[in-house]
Amino acid sequence: MELKEILDIFLKNDNFTILTHKSPDGDTLGSGFALCYFLRDLGKHANVINSDQLPSRYAFIYEGYRQQEFEEKYVIAVDIADPNLIGSNLLQYQQAGAVDLCIDHHISNRNFAKQTYVDGEACAAAMIIYEILKLSGEKLSDQIAKCLYTGISTDTGCFKYENTTPKAHIFAAELMAYDIDYANINREMFDVKSRGRMEVEQTVISQMKYYFEGRCSMIVLTKKLMSECGVDQSEFDGLASIPLSVEGVDIGITVKERHTDYYKISVRTTDKLNASEFCQQFGGGGHIRAAGCEIKGTLEEVQNKLLDAVERLFG
Amino acid sequence: MELKEILDIFLKNDNFTILTHKSPDGDTLGSGFALCYFLRDLGKHANVINSDQLPSRYAFIYEGYRQQEFEEKYVIAVDIADPNLIGSNLLQYQQAGAVDLCIDHHISNRNFAKQTYVDGEACAAAMIIYEILKLSGEKLSDQIAKCLYTGISTDTGCFKYENTTPKAHIFAAELMAYDIDYANINREMFDVKSRGRMEVEQTVISQMKYYFEGRCSMIVLTKKLMSECGVDQSEFDGLASIPLSVEGVDIGITVKERHTDYYKISVRTTDKLNASEFCQQFGGGGHIRAAGCEIKGTLEEVQNKLLDAVERLFG
């Protein structure tokens, strides 16, 4: 599929439903709403839907947005690699043939839609949406630019991560020509934390353990600790980057209790070690610097298994 | 002065001393070493000097660098707005006429050099150095690209802050064409913290106080607390951004004990409030969202003065 064909689909059809993935992030929402606003600006009918409630931190993306009433005729999924990611409140869209077109940047895309466009080189789905919208030659609104910038910025960790491409920087430069308060967006996306999250981080950091002369660090999130903090479970998301943020650490491990004697492990490494290989020993996998696995046993057994594996690594 | 004239100065002269500012950061070092490597690649003699010891976190900038022996003939200051910033170990360069050329991006530059080039629109001195080096038409080394990228990235908070320009993104895209491990550089610059710093942050966050329904937050760094933490004083630098990082806070205040009954105040605000105006009430000043002042009195008196002023703001 070429981008031009996707633009033609947008132009020839109407009454679009745009699906964004569950536990929505800046890229799925930025991409979905940018596309929706674009279609509406063309005089088309379009809605964005999500299985979950939209987090208020992304309110600037859907500010002033209202759902339209129309008979759905064309369904587009954005940034959704797997039908399961559509979410439990939108089961009807997980059936075969329910989605007409999927636009995604995950190379692992399951090809569940009737037509699929995947660009694994794109660091965000918003990169692809922006390219299609540019092809149209239409003037884009500031609101669309804001959505697209947010998608690119959030999926690259504000241009910090390895997935950041020169093109991501060039698109950011182009989008800054619109009236977007990028500094405020970035502050909200990267610097602001809820008071609950602050407290959770503090607790977790105070209990972090170091091993092998500080080259390995580990945090443990037991159900007890998570309930004692008295905050929403979502405040515990994304803590896995903390162990590796300590100077001198080459492998940071997060052990999270799923059920009794059943733990989910997240591993982050510097370029000196391979997180994916490490997790494969336990039947898991992932990326070179960020991977995961699941291990059964008591907490002590699980920690010992992990530390034995780390010892072999440093051996 | 035009950039072309500066390039001509580089080409016509030899035996350069490049001054970088005290308490060196990524921009002064990135700019200074990029220029030094460029001049050496042209077959010239050049050294970078600094009043302080170079922090090891910037080691990737000066890796393999050795001072050269030569009779100094031309002195260039980079990223230095004021002769005082040259530092106490380089007093000889603070005398009038000691610096031949100053290249800077601070609009507040004191014009202390014989010739000065200031571009207040440039978000980093490295932006200006890069433009001059490009003018030369010479092929730049990967090491030079790494230095320039670091300068731009660190001075913009990894393209996060308001000072980030479209040009900064375009230059970043260009520099990524060289063999630079930008993800690792950014990780070292922005994500990695010493264990001591982690502990200090934890202590400070646990003692943070909230006022006016969470719209104001305050941290207090007493001499007692700073000595109890048992870490180097430098670990306390840059904590002033923490109070404003809490959701809902519009003014974050850091109160740091200088001497008995004498406190240094740092104020950070969202776009809803003016930090500079706030600090002007106490004889201080600064930028719209980041400013400072000094207040005498007991800790309680100082805090009350600040909270009274905040109350008037929210009045």
Query: What does the pLDDT look like over A139-163, one tens digit per residue?
Result: 999 999 999 999 999 999 999 998 9
Mean pLDDT, range A277-297, rounded to an integer: 93
The pLDDT value recorded for residue B226 is 83
State whether A166 and B177 contact (CB < 8 Å).
Answer: yes
Please write the tens of the pLDDT for every residue from A94-115: 999 999 999 999 998 999 999 9
Q: Interhelix angle for A166-175 vs B166-175, to 10°?
A: 170
Residue of B nearest to A249 (CA): B192
Q: Which token pair is B242?
A: 């923490």
The shortest C-alpha distance from B248 to chain A (Å) reads 8
CA distance A208 to A252: 10
pLDDT for B128 equals 98
Structure tokens at A275: 């997180």
pLDDT at B131: 98
Confidence (pLDDT) at A82:
94
What is the C-alpha to C-alpha distance for residues B204 and B196, in angstroms, rounded to an integer? Answer: 12
Residue B256 three-state SS: strand
CA distance to partner chain A, nearest, from residue B160 (Å): 6
Q: What is the pLDDT of residue A178?
A: 98
A246 touches chain B (CB under 8 A): yes
SS3 B94: helix
Please say whether the structural domain B195-314 has been given the CATH code 3.10.310.30.
yes
CB contact under 8 A, B190 and A160: yes
pLDDT at B130 (0 to 100): 98
Q: Do B173 and A174 touch (CB under 8 A)?
A: no
| pLDDT for the residue A237 | 76
On chain B, the residues whose CB falls within 8 A of the CB of A165 are 176
A232 vs A32 pLDDT, higher one? A32
Question: For the domain with range B3-190, which CATH number is right: 3.90.1640.10, 3.40.50.300, 3.30.540.10, 3.20.10.10?
Answer: 3.90.1640.10
The residue ranges of DSSP E strands in B11-52, in sequence order, are 16-19, 46-49
State the span(s) of chain B assigned CATH 3.90.1640.10: 3-190
Structure tokens at B87: 């530092």
State yes or no: ipTM above 0.85: yes
Cβ pair B170:A169 closer than 8 A: yes
pLDDT along chain B (315 residues), means of 10: 97 98 95 98 98 93 97 98 95 96 94 97 97 98 98 96 96 98 94 88 91 96 84 79 94 95 95 94 90 96 98 90
pLDDT of B288: 87
**Residue A292 · residue A263 · CB < 8 Å:** no
**Per-residue tokens: A53:** 């409630």
* Chain B nearest C-alpha distance from A165 (Å): 7
- Taking only residues 65 to 84 of chain A, the set having a beta carbon closer than 8 angstroms to any beta carbon of chain B reads none
Shortest distance between the Cα of A146 and any Cα of chain B, in A, equals 14
Residues B174, B179, B182, B183, Cα dihedral to 10°: 130
Predicted TM-score (pTM) of this structure: 0.91
Q: Compute and round to an integer the Cα radius of gyration of chain A.
A: 21
Mean pLDDT throughout A202-227?
92
**Which residues in chain B have Cβ-Cβ distances shorter than 8 Å to A270?**
184, 187
Partner B contacted by A96 (CB < 8 A): no
Contact B142, B176 (CB under 8 A): no
State the span(s) of chain A assigned CATH 3.10.310.30. Answer: 195-314
Q: Inform me whether the C-beta atom of residue A205 falls under 8 Å from chain B C-beta atoms.
A: yes
Asked whether residue A43 carries a pLDDT value surpassing 90, the answer given is yes
Chain B closest-CA separation from residue A166 CA (Å): 4
- How high is the pLDDT of residue B117? 98
Indicate the angle between helix axes A125-136 and A142-155, nearest 10 degrees: 150
> Looking at the complex, does the CB of residue B178 fall below 8 Å from at least one CB of chain A?
no
Per-residue pLDDT for A235 more than 80? no
d(C-alpha B159, C-alpha B149), whole Å: 11
Least confident of A67-71, A148-152, A197-201, B87-91: A197-201
- Measured between alpha carbons, how far is B309 from B303 in angstroms, rounded to an integer? 10
pLDDT of amino acid B163: 92
Task: Look at residue A195 and tell me whether its pLDDT is greater than 90.
Answer: no
CA distances from A201 to A71, A193, A216 (A): 46, 10, 18
For chain A, helix, strand, coil in percent to 5 are 45, 20, 35
CA distance A248 to A254: 17
What is the average pLDDT score of chain A? 95
Q: Where does B156-207 have alpha helices with state H?
A: 166-175, 182-186, 195-206
Nearest chain B residue to A199 by CA: give it: B206
Looking at residue B231, its pLDDT comes to 76
What was the pLDDT predicted at B152? 98
Mutate: best of A58, A150, A160, partner B, most B CBs <10 A:
A160
How far are the Cα atoms of B32, B49, B73, B145, B254 from residue B90, in angstroms, in the given order?
16, 9, 16, 28, 32
